[in-house]
Structure 1
C-alpha cells in the first residue's frame, strides 16, 4: 500500500520529495501577480514560470529533440498550472484534516537530500541557484509528505484486482507480452576498420577462413575465439549471450538466425570486419501447459510391483479417455507433488522436463491425452491444456506485474475523482 501511495502522489502532480533538488520550486510572496488564487492562496506567475521551465527541461531529458515549440507553450503552461492548483487543493485538504507530519521524517528526508551532494558548500550553492533557502526546502518537503499522508489515509482504499480482471487485461493487450525469438552465440571477428586496402582485406579474409577451417575440423570454438578474435567478447571466449533480431548488424543477424545449435556459419562481412558464428542455444519455439498423473515406481520395485503400477496407470488413462475429468482424476490418483494442484504443471518449454515426458507432451494437441509415458519417476499420463508460441510471455509469468499495474490505475482514478470533488467545492480564480 505504501508503494502505491508514493507512486500515485507523483500522478496526483505533487512535487515529489525525492525529486532532484532543482525540481523543488521556490514559492514567492503573494504580492506578485497571481497566476491563480485557490481558496485565497496565491500561485504566483513567477512560481508558474519556474515550474513550466522545469517541465520543459524534464520533457527534453525524456524525449531529446522534442522540446515544445512556441505554438504549444500555452498548453504546457496550462497543464502545469492545473497541476499546481491540484497540489494546492490537496495540501489545503490535508491541513483541514489536521494531518501532521512528524519532524523526524522531515529531518531524515532533508538529510537524505544533503547526502546527494559532495559537500555542504555544493548543497548551499544548489539552493542558492534556485533561490531557495533551507527553510523553503523544509517547507516543501513537509507539504509533499502531508499530501502523501492524506492520500494514504483518506483517498486510496484497499485496492484489489480479481483474476478475471488481470486475465482480461492480458488477453486484450497481447502485443505488450510478446517476446522475440532469441539465440545464444559465440563469434570470432577479424577487424577491418577505417580505410583498408584490397590487400589488407584479402589478408583478413584469409585469416578468418583459416580459423573457420580449424573450427569445422573440431577445434574448440571458444578457445579459438579466446586466441584469435579481435572483438571485446574475446574475454568471454566469444560469447555474445542471448540476443534477438534487431540487436545485431543485419548481415550478422541473418546468418546467425539461420543456424542450428552447434553449427558454424560461413564467413560473414559487416562494417566491423569478418566474422564466423557458432550458435550455442536457441530459445524454445513453443511453450505448453499440462496436467499429468503419476504412478511412482521405485528403484527397488519387483517386476510384479512394476506390472501392478502399469496396470493402475492404464486404468486411470481409460477413465480419462471415457470422459472423466482429468483434473479430478489427478487429484484422486496421482502420486506426484502436483496432485495438490490437480496435476497442473503450469507452463513450461523444452528443456525443463525429462526427455521422455517432454517428447510426449510436446507431441500432443490441446485436450489430447498421451499414451503411458515411463520416466525414472514412474508411469505418467499427460493432458495438454494450453499452447503458446515462445514469442508470447505466459499469463502466469506476468500476472503479478499486471495486478500491480491495474492497482495503480485504480488508485489513479480514485485520486482524480477526489481532486475533482475538491475542485467542485473550491473557490479558484485564474488569470
Structure 2
C-alpha cells in the first residue's frame, strides 16, 4: 500500500512539472524571465542617464561653500589674485556662500555631446532588441528540438514494438523448427538496434527539455508539452527582397547607423574644444567672523570667457581621434551590411533546401511503408528470409526518422530566416 501511494505521488509530482506551452507562450515567458534581456534593458537605462549628464551643462550649477580661514600674516590677510568671482585676497574669516554658474554658450560642444549621447542611447536600445531576437531564436530552437525529439521517440517506440513482435514470432517459429537460428539472430539484432534508438531518443528529449527549462528559468527536471506550430507561409522565389527587408529591419544595422551618427556628432563636439566658453557667474555670501576691513555680506556677478589658446596639442589629438572613430564606425556599418546580406542569402538557401528535403522524405516514407508491407507479406508467406524483412524495417525506420528530423529542421530554418531578416521579434510583438 505504501509503495502504491509513493508511486502515485511520484506520478502526480511528475505531472505537475509538465507544462503545456505554445510557441508564442514560450516566447512571451522567455522575454519576461531571461536575465540577458534584463541586463540589456538596464544597460539602456544606464546609457540614457549619460544623456542627462551631458544635458545638465545647460542648467544652472549652484554650489554651497562654507569656509573657515586663518592666515599666517599678522595683519589679518594675505593679498592674492584669482580669475574667479571670489575675494581678491585671503583673510581671516568664517564664511558661507552660494556660487552660481550658468552656461551661455560653448559654441556647440554641449549640444553635440548631448545629441551624440542620445544617439548612443537609441543604439543601445537597438542592441537590446537584438538580444531579444537572439533569445527568441534560442527559444524556437529549444521548442523545435523538443518536438523533434518527441517525434523521434514515437518512431523509436513503434520500432521497438514492431521488432519485438517480429523477434518473438521468429523465436516461436524457430522452436517449431519453422525458422532457423540465424533468423532469430537477425531479429534479435534488429530489436537491440531499436532499443538503442529509443535510449538515444529519450536522452535527446531530456536534453531538449533541459535547454528550454534553462531559458525559462524553470526548475530542473521540468518537462513541456509543446503545441505543434502552424506551417510557415510559403518561401519567396528569391532572397533579394528578404535582403532589402533585412537592411531596413535588422536592429544591428540600425544600431551601427546610430553609432555612426553619434560618432559624427562627437566629432563636432570635439572640434568645439578650440572655441571659447562663455558663462555667467555669480556669488553671494556672508562672513559672521571676518577681518575688520571686510564687509559682513557680499555679492558679485560677472561674465567669464574661457578660451583655450594652447593645450599642447591635446585638443587636436582628441579631434583626430574622434574623426578616426567616426570613419571606423562607417566601415563597420558597411561590413555588417555585407555580412547580413550573406547571412540572409544562406538562410534562404537552407530553408529552401529543407523544404525540398521535407517533400522528398514524405515520398520516401510512403515508398518505405509500401516496401515494408510487401516484405512482411512475403515473409509471413515464407517466400522470403528475415534478412529481406529486416532491410525493409531498417528502410522504414530511416525514412520515418528522416521525415521527423527534416520537418522540424524546416521549422527551425524558417525561424533562422525570420531572425536574419529582422522580423522574428516583430512577429512576436504583433502576436503571430
Q: TM-score range by the shorter chain?
A: under 0.3
The structure showing larger relative contact order (alpha-carbon pairs under 8 Å, at least 6 residues apart) is 2
Flag the structure with higher helix content.
Answer: 2
- Larger Rg computed on CA atoms: 2
